[in-house]
Amino acid sequence: MIYIPAAVDVAALQDTTLLNMGIFGLFVAVTMVIVLRASRNNKTAADYYAAGRSFSGSQNGTAIAGDYLSAASFLGITGAIAINGYDGFMYSIGFLVAWLVALLLVAELLRNTGKFTMADVLSFRLKQRPVRIAAAISTLAVCFFYLLAQMAGAGSLISLLLGISDWGGQALVIMVVGALMIMYVLIGGMKGTTWVQIIKAILLIAGAAVMTLWVLAIYGFNLSSLLGAAVETSNNPNVLNPGLQYGKTETSKLDFMSLGLALVLGTAALPHVLMRFYTVPTAKEARKSVVWSIWLIGLFYLFTLVLGYGAAALVGAETIKGAPGGVNSAAPLLAFYLGGPLLLGFISAVAFATILAVVAGLTITAAASFAHDIYASVIAKGKADADTEVKVARRTVVVIGVMAILGGIFANGQNVAFLVALAFAVAASANLPTIIYSLFWRRFTTQGAVWSMYGGLASAIILIVLSPVVSGAKTSMMPGANFAIFPLSNPGIVSIPLAFLLGWLGTVLDKKREDRSKQAEMEVRSLTGVGAEKAVDH
Amino acid sequence: MGNSARTPDVAASADFEEVQATEQFKELRRRHRSFVFPMAVAFLLWYFAYVLLADYAVDFMSSKVWGNINVGLIMGLLQFVTTFAITGWYVSYSNRKLDPIAAEIRHGIEGHEFDKAGNRVGGATP
């Protein structure tokens, strides 16, 4: 007999706080033991950043799914579909199709040419200093936006689960989450982080699968009746049609295009995803990991379609919007409706774990980028030994952790998927043109790379600051102010083409030519894997 | 910078410009690009066609096909299908057309070959 209350009583959620905390505590305890075991042989920089390149393609693929299926995917997309219907589904499609860019154009070539960070690849055949600094700065910027989104998700979840709506209480819990994350990364390095991501991916996908089957079972495994019920509850047939959120005006339609562009081009330029390709021994394993992650991620996004419309049908958009945590609370509320306190506890623990794992992955990427690209290559001019570099990386972890905690305390209420889409736009603008040009365009020069990276980064961030996201609307971060002269909330449609254009312009106007032999070396290495393969045979 | 995860780079002294100029390498590059470039263009066009339809052809996307399932939903699900299909296609193409030739060139540069058990079985001189 399935326990189905007539309506979701949000206030009743708080009675389950202890259970939620218990399940979450169990997850933390189990993963901490694994992280401690994994970290026993963390000795070199390659161990710390790239987990000694010891993971198999399927393990890494699961970890990539764990890294990628963030709170944005689970809480954000489910909420977006529950409230905005079809327009929310667009996130799922964009986030998935984007993996083809990574699979076809980036993953293997990058695995063959780099060592630890994205900057390794970008500066391979160009001038080290300027390109490395630019790549490190854009890595830090993208990680910061992504962290902000995850922390906003943590805030939403906490306010829902613990019923803590006062600022101080939420801040305290965000601090606890942040402190845990710092511990994972400090102790476990990339290996520990990868294991946390693998465990979390399995739990998340399994939890979503159970909920999906449950929702479908309620409607006799008939998708059409589920959709019909969503229409009935929301009293709006348009939840099944495109345009509910973005179809209102010509500007919002353009915004939708901009979002679509940022989603599909962002993934292959996300530094924390790119860094994962270095944890496998060969390009073939890198390919295998992308294939695994495409299957897992695709499957999960199919689940979100059912979960989103399920939440719309069973919980109802009004209840979701009214709950503490707002849009982001659709998935936990649906869990509560289906399985009562126990399923809610499990799903919330999984959501917490999701945030923890993604934040850990972002933090180690940002720390590696700072220590490896800025400290070792620029400040110490290549003279730092690996031990010092890892020491710097560990200190950076603490600094970034503290920044994430502060950011999380201040970023609240925005849809997590939406915030992540901004990180995608920044990544696609700042990184993708240079990645593509340096892999495929022989003539590409340092000036082109620097123009494209700084131009893309600056235009994306400036347009976000001048957009309705920051000011001029009720939902803005600063609703009181109004300096929103850029009408779109996602800058991708302007900043991504601009960055490609700047990369081309900077190159054709550059009087200097790059080292011909370096280009040959990069091309041969990227396609054949010479020097990067076979390491496992010895 | 330490890079202890890898064995000493046997390719460090190779003349990459020479390798790049060989017919074998040009063939590898041609095979790689003749697959990934058209495929990337194709899926991006298909994806943006879908986004444009969802954005500007709302009535068409909203037309019901079966029960509450409309054209938009079917096209969205087709995006999943094509993504999975292209993934599978690329993997089989790389296994057949790219990996063998890449391995040959790699062995040529590294100056030796390994059999399946990892034993050295001779090969070109470096």
CB atoms A100 and B43 under 8 Å:
yes
Q: What is the pLDDT of residue B122?
A: 44
Dihedral of CA A460/A484/A79/A412: which sign?
positive
Q: What is the rounded average pLDDT of the residues A307-316?
A: 92
Is the pLDDT reported for residue A329 higher than 90?
A: no
Q: Which domain holds residue B93?
A: 15-112
Percent of chain A with pLDDT over 70: 92
- The pair of structure tokens assigned to A319 is 């209840």
Q: Tens digits of per-residue pLDDT, A432-463?
A: 999 999 999 999 999 999 999 999 999 999 99
Determine the Cα–Cα distance for residues B12 and A338; give it in Å rounded to an integer.
Answer: 60
Q: What is the pLDDT of residue B11?
A: 58
**Cβ-based neighbours of A355, under 8 Å, separated by 6 or more:** A70, A71, A150, A151, A153, A154, A157, A177
Q: What is the pLDDT of residue A101?
A: 94
Find residue B66's DSSP bridge partners: B69
CB atoms A284 and B99 under 8 Å:
yes
Higher-confidence position of A227 and A501: A501
Query: Nearest-CA residue of chain A relative to B117?
Result: A537
Q: Tens digits of per-residue pLDDT, A470-514?
A: 777 777 777 777 888 888 888 999 999 999 999 999 999 988 888
pLDDT category, A1, cuts 50, 70, 90? very low
Quick check: is B27 in a domain? yes
Is the pLDDT reported for residue A246 higher than 90?
A: no
Is the pLDDT reported for residue B111 higher than 80?
A: no
Query: Nearest-CA residue of chain B relative to A45?
Result: B2
Q: What is the rounded average pLDDT of the residues B5-23?
A: 70
Percent of chain A with pLDDT over 90: 27
Higher-confidence position of B117 and B44: B44
Mean pLDDT of chain A: 84
Determine the Cα–Cα distance for residues A444 and A438; give it in Å rounded to an integer.
Answer: 6
**DSSP labels, A361-383:** HHHHHHHHIIIIIIIIIIISTT-
pLDDT category, A176, cuts 50, 70, 90? confident
**DSSP labels, A254-292:** HHHHHHHHHHHHHGGG-HHHHHHGGGSSSHHHHHHHHHH
* Residue A419, min C-alpha distance to chain B (Å): 20
pLDDT category, A374, cuts 50, 70, 90? confident
Whether residue A287 lies within 8 A of chain B, CB to CB, comes out as: yes
Quick check: is B61 in a domain? yes
Q: What is the pLDDT of residue A2?
A: 40
All residues of chain B having their beta carbon less than 8 Å from the beta carbon of residue A294 are 83-84, 87
Interface test with A, best of B32, B44, B45, B83 (most A CBs within 10 A): B83
Quick check: is B53 in a domain? yes
CB atoms A537 and B94 under 8 Å:
no
Query: Nearest-CA residue of chain B relative to A106?
Result: B36
Is the pLDDT reported for residue B115 higher than 60?
A: no
From A260, A293, A251, select the one nearest B46 (Cα to Cα): A260
pLDDT category, A334, cuts 50, 70, 90? very high
pLDDT category, A303, cuts 50, 70, 90? very high
- The pair of structure tokens assigned to A267 is 């993934």
Higher-confidence position of B48 and A6: B48
Whether residue A199 lies within 8 A of chain B, CB to CB, comes out as: no
Q: What is the pLDDT of residue A415?
A: 64
Interface test with A, best of B68, B78, B107 (most A CBs within 10 A): B68
ipTM exceeding 0.90, yes/no: no
Q: Which of B43, B58, B103 sits opposite A242 (nearest CB)?
A: B58
Q: What is the rounded average pLDDT of the residues A379-384?
A: 78
A117-126, A328-337, A368-377, B69-78: which is most confident = B69-78
Residues 90-109 on A with a CB inside 8 Å of B are: 90, 93-94, 96-97, 99-101, 103-105
- The pair of structure tokens assigned to A223 is 């998708």
Q: What is the pLDDT of residue B2?
A: 38
Is the pLDDT reported for residue A11 higher than 50?
A: yes
From A305, A353, A336, select the one nearest A78 (Cα to Cα): A305
Domain count, chain B: 1
Q: What pTM did the predictor assign?
A: 0.86
CB atoms B36 and A535 under 8 Å:
no
CB B100 within 8 A of CB B110: no
Quick check: is B71 in a domain? yes
Interface test with B, best of A48, A54, A524 (most B CBs within 10 A): A524
Q: What is the pLDDT of residue A211?
A: 95
